[in-house]
Amino acid sequence: MHVDAVIFDLDGTLADTLRDIAQAMDRVLASAGLPTHDEDSYRRFVGRGARVLVQLALPEEARDQEEAVLAAFLADYGEHLVIATRPYPGVDALLETLASRAPRPRLAVLSNKPHDATQRVVATIFPHHPFDAVYGQRPDWPRKPDPASALALAAELGVEPTRCLFVGDTAVDMETALRAGMTPVGCLWGFRDREELIRAGAAALVSRPAEIDRLLDRSPTS
């Protein structure tokens, strides 16, 4: 398999964003007099967009506060996007390696984080690694695992979906890749476990970012 593009999820794949997300959500819950959660619980809450995060964080008896809590979370998180957030170890080196390849694969980000926040996080923590395209959750576009944004991204990159690696850390990412006709690659340093990624159809699992570079020269299933 020849790879012309690598599309990355952001949260749990390129960057460890968990603490900033968890603290923003907990501040909003606490201010509303609602129970907060330990940081590890947010590993299960994130991945399907801000609204689903809020739905999972709210207790059943407070579901009527969803819209207010969502708005408050987006405002708070927007002010605290990159406090503890950092690239995972090895990610910067991987991006440098991919950028030095000849020919260079197209590099992109597709996240369920709101579009503006996605672009701001990427620009802040990867200032020396310009991506060819960065998509977050955009108005009027379905969130992952719907393949529409992944296919639009491939079209913008000028790459056939079958020649794209889609790298992520959740079942949502693996399903997105499969539905878009891309090769799903599960990263084991993220927010979910090996079993979830295998069940969701990962064609390859990587334990270190450097391993992604090697997949460009062979089929992940070989």
Question: How far, in Å, CA of 183 to CA of 152, rounded?
Answer: 16
Tokens representing residue 163 in the block? 């020649």
Residue 173: active-site member: no
Tokens representing residue 219 in the block? 């089929």
Tokens representing residue 69 in the block? 């809590």
Question: How far, in Å, CA of 37 to CA of 22, rounded?
Answer: 8
Question: How far, in Å, CA of 27 to CA of 25, rounded?
Answer: 5
Question: How far, in Å, CA of 172 to CA of 48, rounded?
Answer: 7
Question: How far, in Å, CA of 178 to CA of 147, rounded?
Answer: 8
Residue of 4, 9, 16, 169 marked active site? 9
Dmax over Cα atoms in the chain, in whole Å? 56
Residue numbers annotated as active site: 9
